[in-house]
Each structure stands twice: as C-alpha cells, then as structure tokens.
Structure 1
Amino acid sequence: MIRRIRLALVIGILVPMTAVLLPIQIAAIRAGHPLRRRLPHVWHRVATRMLGLRVNVIGRPAIHESAGVLIASNHVSWLDIVALGAAAPVSYVAKHEVGGWPGVSILAKLQETLFIERERRGKVGEQAGQIRERLARGDAIVLFAEGTTSDGNFLLPFKSALFGAVGVGPGSEVAHESVRVQPVAIVYTHLHGVPMGRFDRPVAAWPGDVELGPHVAGVLEAGAIDVVVCFGEPIVVGDMANRKALAAACEHAVREMASGVLRGREPLLTDDEKR
C-alpha cells in the first residue's frame, strides 16, 4: 500500500515536474545560466519528499559561485544522488555505463554529469581534464572516490586517479588557484525513526550485485529513511604531496565523519533546520 502511494506521488508530481523543468534546464545549460545548478537542486529536494527520504545536513558545502570545489564522497546507494543533490547544488562524476541507462541517463545529463571510464587508464588524463574544466567554471563536482557502491557498513579504499584534476603535487597542472577539495560522508542512520543496524542498512544500500528496479521498489515500500550528509572541512590542496596523499586524506576524513555519525558524536540537524 505504501509503495503504491509513493509510486503515485512520483508519477503524479515528480514526472510532470521533470517534464516542465526539462526545457528550462536545457536552455540554462546551453546559456551557462546559474539556473543550470539550481533547478536540479530543487528537483532533488522534491524527490526526497516523494521517496520518504529525510536529509540531515551537518556542516556546510564549500560552494561559491566563482570557485569550483571537488567533493570527495563515499558511495552507498543510488539514493546518494538524491540526498547530496538535495543538500547542495552539485554535479556528479559517474561511470560510463550510466550514460546508457534508460531514463536515468536523461536525468544525469540534465544535471551535467561527467561520464568516465575508470577501467581505461589511458584516458585518466583526459577525464581528469574534463573535471578540471568544470572546476574552473566554478562548478561543484562530486567524485564518489570508492569507485563503486559499498554495503553501507564499511568504507572502501579511495581511488586516487581522478584527484589529479585539482592539480596536486610537483609538476602538476593547476586547475584553478581557488579550487578546493571537500570530503563528504553519507550515512544512512534510521528506518521509520529506529536506528539502523548493519542488517537493516541494505534497505538503503545498493551494492553492485543488486538490480536497480527491485531496489527502487524496496525503497518506495520502506520509506521513512534518514540519511546524514556530513560536509567536512575543505582540504588545502597545496599541502598535499601528490594525488595519492590527497585521496588518503579525504578517505581518512570521510571515515572519521561516518564513524562519528554512527556513534552519535554529531548533532543531527535536518536540512530544513540547518537552513
């Protein structure tokens, strides 16, 4: 019954809203207008309501109109896209295959997602260059640094290849002197107001061996999921010896924030309360 209600809300509200905003977003992207960042942010905030996802924000996104920021985040679920998109006006780095997913690819392109081929090491420099260009434009680009989704209980090692986009280490090409790197932790904490244990977290977590359709249906049926999006202190790129050191620093910061949230060391402020 709950799933049917939420599905009706998605079809009755989110789909028409998408149809109305689509031509406006396309025009904004072509014109380079600030609306290209704001409209997806609004869309995600509405989507969280439809999905029954309550976003709790800790800290502040280091986003300014004139300065780019690379957001280095852990990755638990497709819900991360909605949660982080509702918390801040961001674009994403996604694997190349997402560009071919029906429906999803359209939404991703409307949010100016960068599609990369992680397995093709020969293209790392080119792909880092694409991120570098977007950062120079002042965009906030989310890099899911684990390279894949986890089960939500453990953090996977951060991959360092694309951290080179910010220009770090001796002889590297500097993207933009004002570009910052901000670690972000995404943690799913409650289901129907009850703290999640490691066996409950798969309700939200979406590891790679689970099909997307059934998982979306499960989220619609469950609803009332709480997620914390924790923005850490931006890291000074110039203090890092190389991209591997930068990736390790971000991984450490995300691990500490996620651990703190799970142990209740941080106050949980809702997105609306924070604003």
Structure 2
Amino acid sequence: MIGTIRLVLALLAAAIATPCLALWQFVALRTGWLDERPAPRIWHRLVTKLLGMRIRVYGEIAAGRPLLIASNHVSWTDIMVLGSLADVHFIAKSELAGWPIMGTLARLQRTVFVEREKRRRSGEQAGEIGARLSNGDPIVLFAEGSTSDGNLMLPFKSTLFGAARKALEANGGRTVTIQPVAIAYTRLQGMPMGRLHRAHAAWIGERALVPHLRELLSEGAIDLEVHFGEPVVATPDADRKQIAREVERQVRTMLSAALRNPA
C-alpha cells in the first residue's frame, strides 16, 4: 500500500514538473533567451529525490575542457544521478530517440545518439562527439556499451574514445581531458547490498522500464556513491586503446573499493 502511494505521488510530482521544465528548455534552445543548463539539472535532481536516492560524491568533476567523462553503467538511473551533479550531456543508443517522453527529454538535453552496432559509422559518430567536446560540452560516455548487474564491470569499448582525437583535431592539437567516474549502488533501505540485492538497482537487457520504475519507487531509500577519478590527458599522439584501458582500470578500482567498503 505504501509503495503504491509513493508511486502515485511521485508520478504526480513528475507530471507537474516535467512539462514546465521541458518548456523552459525548449525556449532556451530555440531562442537563447534563457540559460539551457538549469532545467535538466533540476529535473534530474527531482527524479533522484522521488526515487529515494541518497548520493555521496567523492572528488569533483574536472575543470579542464574539452571534457569526456567515462563511466560504468548499471541502470537508466545513472543518467539521473550524473545529470543531478553537473551540467553534462550524454551519449545514448539511437533507439532512445524514438521512445515516448524519454526520447523527447533526451533530445532537449542535446543527447548524442549513436548506433553502436554499425561499426562503419563509428568514425562519423566519433566526429560528432568530438565536435561537441570542442565546443565545450562535457559529454558522458558509458564506456561498457551496455548496462551491467552492478557487481562486475564489462570491458570498456575503445571505439568512441576516438572522439578525443576528433576533438583534438577540431581544436588544433590542444589536449582533451578524459575523466574516469565510478557509480556504485551500495545500500538498500540503509542495509548494505549483497550481490543479489544489487540487481534491484540494475536495469539489464530487455527489462521493461515501467515495472523497474515501480519497483524502485516501492522500495525507495537507495544509497549510492559517485567517485570522480584522476583525469587522463589525451594528446595528439595518444592511443585511444591505451587511454580506454587506463580509464577502465581506474573505474574498476574505484568501483571495487566502493562495493567492498560502502560508506
């Protein structure tokens, strides 16, 4: 019963706030009369509050620009978490663009949509991301290419790290900052999550979004940690595969430490 009440109240709050913030963002993008940064950040913070998420942050987002943030990926809620902490944009699968509501909101936040399965387009897609980076937009890359169960990380895919080279080319050979970030879901209702319980927060494969949202709202009180790692500076002669391996190493280390000893 309590879970149902929380679900109804959360949906009501989102239904009231979302159109107002979406209108703000639409006017900001179309006219430039308003600042486009506050609306997405406010919306993401609202969603994390409605979901009962308590976020602990370690470190801080790098000041250097262009900035590519490379993170592990557990759930769609990762987007809400990072979006609530900083004015960032995201790289998402092209299928998201066609989703009702969520696709519209993603476009309003100027998400970069990519087709990961079409390797022939990887250079073109990296070029688009590189152009956005060179314009000063901090971009978040979920480098595993898919969500995991929150216990183990999948290997990072190096293809879209090529965006750093494209940004270098666009900036006449300046450096690009790549920052590792680890997101760890650590507690449920105050109790440390075990391997099985961590799947509660994870959103894997073809799992339907609405039932997962209902479960999160019914349970509530999820603690998670966001660790900002040591930035890696990419230079014109840097190898994207080596960069991907170093960033993956940092994220894996931070994630393992957070899961072993949750705050």
TM-score (norm 2): 0.93
Q: Which residue of 2 aligns with 1:98?
A: 96
Show the 5 A alignment for 1:230-245. Answer: 230-238=227-235, 241-245=238-242
**Hey, what's the Cα distance between the residues in 2 that align with 1:72 and 1:218?**
28
Task: List per-residue Cα deviations over 1:170-200 (Å, max 9, x = no partner).
Answer: xx95343253110100110000000000010
Letter in 2 for 1:219: L
Amino acid across the alignment from 2:57: V
Taking only aligned residues, the RMSD between alpha carbons, in angstroms, comes to 2.0
**Which runs of 5 or more structure 1 residues have no equivalent in the other structure?**
269-275
SS of aligned partner of 1:236: strand
**What displacement does 1:33 show?**
7.0
How many residue pairs are counted as aligned between the two chains? Answer: 261
Q: Distance in 2 between matches of 1:114 and 1:9?
A: 32
Partner SS state of residue 235, structure 2 = helix
TM-score of the aligned structures, taking structure 1 as reference length: 0.89
How many angstroms does 1:112 deviate by?
Answer: 1.0
Partner Cα separation in structure 2 for residue 240 and residue 33 of structure 1: 41
Q: Contact 1:63–1:140 (CA<8 Å) still a contact in 2?
A: no
1:12 is matched with 12
Query: Are the aligned partners of 1:76 and 1:151 in contact in 2 as well (CA < 8 Å)?
Result: yes
Task: Look up the SS of the partner of 1:71 in the other structure.
Answer: strand
Instruction: Say if 1:56 and 1:229, in contact at 8 Å, map to a contact too.
Output: yes
Matched with 2:179 is 182
Contact 2:175/2:234, CA 8 A, preserved across alignment? no
Q: 2:157 aligns with which of 156, 159, 180?
A: 159
Name the CA distance, whole Å, in 2 between partners of 1:239 and 1:153.
Answer: 35
The 1:24/1:178 distance shift into structure 2, 3 A limit, reads farther
Q: Give the 5 Å matches for 1:12-161.
A: 12-31=12-31, 35-63=35-63, 67-161=65-159
User: Given that residues 175 and 233 in structure 2 are in contact (C-alpha distance below 8 angstroms), is that contact kept between their aligned partners in structure 1?
Assistant: no
2:223 maps to 1:226: yes
Asked whether the equivalents of residues 147 and 205 of structure 2 are also in contact (C-alpha less than 8 Å), the reply is yes
Q: Distance in 2 between matches of 1:18 and 1:181?
A: 32
What amino acid does structure 1 have at the position aligned with 2:108?
Answer: L
- Verify the 8 A CA contact 2:175 2:235 in the aligned structure 1: no
Cα distance in 1, alignment partners of residues 32 and 177 from structure 2: 22
- Alpha-carbon contact 1:188-1:201 (below 8 Å) kept: yes
Return 5+ residue gaps in structure 2 as ranges. Answer: none
Q: Distance in 2 between matches of 1:28 and 1:128?
A: 26
| Contact 1:6–1:51 (Cα < 8 Å) also in 2 | no
- Where 1:167 maps in the other structure, the secondary structure is helix
Query: Partners of 1:161 and 1:30 in 2: how far apart?
Result: 32
